């Protein structure tokens, strides 16, 4: 054995050995406990970052621990096509080459992105492997795999038949630059300073920040409780410039204290106004188109961008003398989460999921502890979201994704929904004049089905959704591993992903997709700052793994903070863990040099000195403690416990007490060897989930067993 742990010589070989031997692939037996984690599929559009490394480590620790307990363990890896994200990244690349998506046909563009993603996927798999992830690559899934897509289609069709999917005209969050609508979740509020204009509508004065939309006004609303305006309800007001008369109506959505308490209603360009307009049967007028330019206005504004039009309109209003007051206010506007530009609320025909019922079922599953959140704060977050959800817009006007299996009949104006196959004709009037919707599904609609889709996909497509018990006999993976054990993921995607998996899982399978939810915090830098490229504090996990060893990186990623909390990681931390790995290596080396590794385990541990008894007692305590800590997901405490035991109790104290100096060199007291073997063997077992490479390497170097460590049994201490 070399003087120091040289991880680079071992890691790749050991990983290949594990994978080739099939230890990552479960061979389920009846009656054995099952443990399953579906890996949150990383987006197949970039390198792994330190955050990925952390969650892969956490999941691998749990997986290895349960595997060593002798359970049937499945960790299913995957990759996400990540619709908008990926198309966005790809378009950026095109831009660098001086091209844009409009230079290609739909098919060409799809193929180009496909190739790009395939490349990334292979790269990503390599990176996950280098972190020691013991996931079952034979079951790897991609969100665009044929089998997965089939299941997504089926779910969509059934939702449609159940009346839970509808096509409706609603205000959507349209980004004129991205050329697509977004869901409620994909917009961000941003504080902006704007001018609030008080405009004279003859009978009443209103306040608005968007005077360019006055041409789309179809009413003025006041609060019914507002004494100032009671007499005016039912009368009319007059839009300046175009002099159109519009009714004054009452609606309690209007805030009495804002502006003048009178709100101009523009159903075409504002979500609240759209709602009010619907309630009062007001017409919808559009004055801004999808490119963000003015339409349906007096000639002088036509074709202008909305913000340019505003300046011109204000000038004209001032000329007319109807601007009563101007006031600077700070208010929140919606911006696109991708390009940070203004979102234009527009009424659009899109596919929506009615979420009320689904959310209600998800809520009661959480309340009934069918899904248990390990951390209470995140449970509250999920419940808060579920209680406030709006209908989910699942259409995206992009190419990269699963195309919606809906065909529009130009003759009878009805939609034919299929399970993916192209219909011969309209199912209502049999016209052949049909055309498929150009839109694709929101990525989260497919990843929301991930737990059951991945487990079912292996069994072929002859699956009915919802699944019946009869199906289960045939569907082995699904029967064995669903509901999965733990969903381990980041808090930022609780609303996008976690709650939707619960909703869709319950809907499609009548069962929750997972029993527990473990949410991890962010990786931060040494000072606790968020990691970002612009701050220049990026920690590259692959570089660190290469420099200090994967085991060191892994332990550093769970060291010191609770899983659910943010963690500070620095190169010094990783170095410190590298030192620990080296300490472990050198204990092994010492054992080998002194030939204390011969006949490993032949003799039962036979404590003779008080140090012998003490270390055996301490070992038992450590086993008990760490087992409990892992069970309760307190991985930081477990690794700290093991660190202290190995370094300070075993190496510093016990090992020193067994040394005898002879003329030929240092030896270990013979009667203590059996004790030392017992203790060290258990250290390797307990550390294996955290530091899989070095423990497996040492296990082999010392010839402890013919069986590899990865499938060695976790020790059980009987409680007294």
Partner RNA sequence: GACCGCUUAGCUCAGUUGGCUAGAGCGUCUGACUUACAUUCAGAAGGCCGGGGGUUCGAGUCCCUCAGCGGUCACCA
Site for RNA in 320-339 (CB under 7 A): 329, 331-333
Residue 215 corresponds to which tokens in the numbers above?
A: 């041409």
Shortest distance in whole angstroms from residue 147 CB to RNA: 33
Binding mask 668-697 vs RNA (x if CB under 7 A, - otherwise)?
------------------------------
What is the sign of the dihedral through the CA atoms of 467, 470, 475 and 479? positive
Q: Which is nearer to RNA, 385 or 445 (CB)?
A: 385
Residue with Cβ nearer RNA (114 or 258): 258
Residues that bind RNA (rule: CB under 7 A) add up to a total of 76
Tokens of 129: 């492997």
Spatial CA neighbour of 587 closest among 712, 689, 680, 667: 680
Nearer to RNA, 152 or 381 (CB): 381
- CB-wise, 510 or 529, nearer to RNA? 529
Cis peptide preceding 483, ω within 30 of 0: yes
Nearer to RNA by Cβ, of 141 and 681: the residue is 681
User: Which residue, 107 or 527, is less far from RNA as judged by CB?
Assistant: 527
* Part of the chain binding RNA (CB under 7 A), chosen from 150-158, 297-305, 558-566, 674-682: 558-566
Answer yes or no: are the C-beta atoms of 600 and 703 closer than 8 Å: yes
Q: How far apart are CB 636 and RNA at their closest, in Å?
A: 6
Measure the CA angle with vertex 655, ends 653 and 661; round to 5°.
Answer: 115
Contact (Cβ atoms closer than 8 angstroms) between residue 26 and residue 73: yes
- Which parts of 474-513 interact with RNA (CB under 7 A)? 492, 495
Measured in whole angstroms, the distance separating CA 292 from the mean position of its chain's CA atoms is: 32
The CB density around residue 323, as the number of other CB atoms within 10 Å, is 18
Give residue 441's Cα distance to chain centre: 17
Collapsing DSSP to helix, strand or coil, 349 comes out as: strand
Cα 88 to Cα 101: distance, rounded to the nearest angstrom: 10
Mark 185-214 with x for binding to RNA (rule: CB under 7 A) and - for no binding.
Answer: x---x-----------------xxxx----
Site string for RNA, 393-432 (x = CB under 7 A): ----------------------------------------
Write the interaction track for RNA spanning residues 252-281; mark x where CB under 7 A is met and - where it is not: -xxx-xxx-xxxx-----xxx---------
Q: Which is nearer to RNA, 146 or 387 (CB)?
A: 387
Using the contact rule CB under 7 A, the part of the chain among 299-307, 423-431, 561-569, 708-716 near RNA is: 561-569
Alpha-carbon distance of 573 to 556, in angstroms, equals 6
Site for RNA in 371-400 (CB under 7 A): 376-377, 380-381, 384, 388
**CB neighbour class for 716 (10 Å; exposed up to 12, middle 13-18, buried from 19):** exposed
Minimum CB distance to RNA, residue 156 (Å): 25
| Alpha-helical segments (H) within 41-145 | 50-68, 83-96, 106-130
What phi and psi, each to the nearest 5 degrees, are found at residue 264? -80, 135
In the complex, least distance from residue 584 CB atom to RNA, rounded to whole angstroms: 9
> What are the start-end ranges of the E strands in 138-283?
141-142, 165-175, 180-182, 187-200, 205-208, 219-222, 236-238, 245-250, 262-265
Q: Which of residues 583-602 bind RNA (CB under 7 A)?
A: 583, 586-587, 589-590, 593
* 3-state SS, residue 82: coil
- Judged by CB under 7 A, the stretch of 184-192, 281-289, 363-371, 439-447 that binds RNA is 184-192
Query: Measured from the CB of residue 428, what is the shortest distance to RNA in angstroms?
Result: 36
Binding to RNA, residues 141-170 (CB under 7 A): none
Q: With contact defined as beta carbons under 8 Å apart, do 12 and 51 qualify?
A: no
Of 427, 568, 620, 657, which one interacts with RNA (CB under 7 A)? 568
Q: Interface mask (CB under 7 A) for RNA, residues 631-670, using x and -? A: -x-x-xx--x--xx--x---xxx-xx--x-----xx----
Site string for RNA, 214-253 (x = CB under 7 A): ---------------------------------------x
If we measure between CA atoms, which residue out of 570, 579, 543 comes closest to residue 651?
579
Residue among 447 and 480 whose Cβ is closer to RNA: 447
How is residue 494 annotated by DSSP?
I
Axis-axis angle for helices 541-548, 50-68 (nearest 10): 60
| 434 lies in the site for RNA, by CB under 7 A | no
CB of 698 to RNA, least distance (A): 12
- Shortest Å, Cβ 330 to RNA: 9
Helix (H) / strand (E) element for 332: namely strand 323-336
What minimum distance in Å lies between the beta carbon of 321 and RNA?
A: 21
Give the DSSP letter of residue 403.
B
Q: Is 173 helix (H, G, I), strand (E, B) or coil?
A: strand
| CA distance linking residue 460 with residue 94, whole number of Å | 37
| Alpha-helix residue ranges (DSSP H) falling in 533-655 | 541-548, 550-556, 571-593, 610-631, 635-643
CB of residue 209 vs RNA: minimum separation in angstroms?
5
Query: Within positions 57 to 86, which residues make up the interface with RNA, using CB under 7 A?
Result: none
Whose Cβ is closer to RNA: residue 576's or residue 671's?
A: 576
Comparison of 144 and 501: residue with beta carbon closer to RNA: 501
Out of 21, 364, 565, 703, name the contact with RNA by CB under 7 A. Answer: 565
Q: Measured on CA atoms in the order 127, 501, 464, 143, is the torsion positive or negative? A: negative
Which 282-311 positions form the footprint of RNA (CB under 7 A)? none
CA atoms within 13 A on the CB side of 182: 27
Q: Minimum distance from CB of 166 to RNA (Å)?
A: 20
**Site for RNA, residues 509 to 538, rule: CB under 7 A:** 524, 526-528
Minimal CA–CA distance to 489: which of 356, 355, 381? 381
Residue the block writes with tokens 């011109």: 312
> Quick one: DSSP state of residue 652?
I
> Which lies closer to RNA via its Cβ, residue 31 or residue 665?
665
Q: How far is the CB of 582 from RNA (least distance, A)?
A: 3
In this chain, which stretch among 15-23, 290-298, 453-461, 577-585 interacts with RNA, using CB under 7 A? 577-585
| Cα dihedral sign, 131-135-137-143 | negative
Q: Which is nearer to RNA, 160 or 215 (CB)?
A: 215
């Amino acid at each position: 054995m070399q003087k120091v742990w040289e991880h680079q010589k071992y890691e790749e070989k050991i990983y290949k050995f594990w994978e080739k031997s099939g230890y990552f692939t479960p061979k389920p037996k009846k009656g054995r406990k099952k443990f399953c984690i579906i890996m949150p599929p990383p987006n197949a559009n970039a390198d792994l970052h330190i955050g990925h490394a952390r969650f892969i480590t956490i999941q691998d620790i749990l997986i290895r621990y349960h595997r060593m307990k002798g359970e049937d363990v499945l960790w299913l890896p995957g990759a996400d096509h990540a619709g908008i994200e990926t198309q966005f990244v790809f378009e950026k690349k095109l831009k660098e080459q001086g091209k844009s998506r409009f230079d290609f046909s739909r098919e060409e563009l799809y193929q180009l992105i496909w190739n790009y993603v395939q490349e990334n996927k292979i790269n990503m798999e390599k990176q996950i492997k280098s972190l020691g992830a013991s996931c079952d690559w034979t079951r790897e899934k991609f969100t665009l795999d044929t089998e997965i897509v089939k299941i997504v289609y089926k779910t969509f069709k059934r939702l449609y038949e159940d009346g839970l999917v509808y096509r409706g005209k609603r205000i959507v969050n349209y980004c004129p630059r991205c050329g697509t609508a977004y869901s409620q979740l994909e917009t961000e509020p941003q504080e902006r300073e704007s001018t609030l204009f008080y405009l004279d509508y003859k009978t009443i004065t209103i306040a608005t920040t968007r005077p360019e939309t006055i041409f789309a006004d179809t009413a003025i609303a006041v609060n019914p409780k507002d004494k100032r305006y009671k007499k005016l309800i039912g009368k009319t007001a007059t839009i300046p410039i175009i002099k159109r008369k519009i009714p004054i109506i009452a609606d309690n959505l209007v805030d009495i204290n804002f502006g003048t308490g009178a709100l101009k209603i523009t159903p075409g360009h504002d979500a609240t106004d759209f709602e009010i307009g619907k309630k009062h049967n007001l017409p919808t007028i559009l004055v801004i188109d999808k490119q963000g330019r003015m339409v349906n206005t007096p000639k002088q504004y036509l074709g202008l961008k909305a913000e340019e039009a505003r300046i011109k309109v204000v000038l004209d209003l001032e000329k007319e003398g109807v601007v009563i007051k101007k006031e600077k206010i700070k208010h929140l506007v919606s911006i696109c989460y991708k390009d940070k530009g203004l979102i234009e609320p527009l009424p659009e025909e899109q596919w929506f999921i009615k979420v009320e019922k689904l959310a209600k079922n998800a809520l009661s599953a959480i309340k009934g502890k069918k899904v248990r959140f390990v951390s209470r704060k995140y449970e509250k977050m999920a419940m808060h979201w579920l209680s406030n959800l709006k209908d989910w817009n699942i259409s995206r006007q992009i190419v990269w994704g699963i195309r919606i299996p809906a065909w529009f009949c130009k003759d009878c104006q009805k939609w034919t929904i299929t399970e993916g196959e192209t219909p011969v004709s309209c199912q209502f009037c049999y016209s052949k004049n049909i055309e498929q919707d150009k839109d694709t599904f929101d990525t989260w609609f497919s990843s929301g089905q991930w737990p059951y889709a991945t487990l079912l996909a292996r069994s072929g497509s002859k699956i009915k959704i919802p699944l019946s018990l009869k199906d289960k006999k045939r569907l082995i993976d699904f029967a064995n591993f669903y509901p999965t054990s733990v969903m381990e993921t980041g808090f930022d995607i609780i609303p996008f992903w976690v709650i939707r998996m619960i909703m869709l899982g319950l809907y499609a399978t009548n069962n929750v997709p997972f029993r527990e939810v473990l949410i991890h915090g962010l990786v931060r830098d040494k000072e606790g700052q968020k990691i970002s490229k612009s701050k220049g504090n990026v920690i590259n996990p692959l570089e660190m793994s290469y420099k200090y060893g994967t085991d060191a990186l892994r332990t550093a990623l769970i060291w010191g903070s609770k899983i659910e909390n943010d963690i500070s990681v620095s190169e010094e931390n990783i170095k410190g863990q590298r030192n620990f790995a080296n300490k472990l290596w050198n204990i092994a080396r010492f054992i080998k040099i002194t030939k204390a590794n011969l006949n490993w385990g032949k003799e039962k541990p036979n404590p003779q000195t008080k140090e012998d008894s003490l270390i055996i007692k301490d070992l038992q305590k450590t086993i008990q403690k760490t087992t409990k800590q892992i069970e309760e997901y307190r991985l930081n405490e477990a690794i700290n416990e093991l660190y202290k035991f190995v370094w300070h109790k075993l190496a510093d104290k016990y090992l020193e007490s067994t040394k005898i100096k002879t003329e030929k060199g240092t030896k270990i007291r013979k009667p203590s060897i059996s004790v030392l073997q017992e203790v060290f063997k258990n250290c390797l077992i307990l550390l294996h989930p955290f530091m899989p490479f070095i423990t497996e390497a040492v296990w082999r170097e010392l010839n402890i067993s013919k069986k590899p460590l990865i499938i060695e049994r976790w020790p059980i201490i009987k409680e007294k």
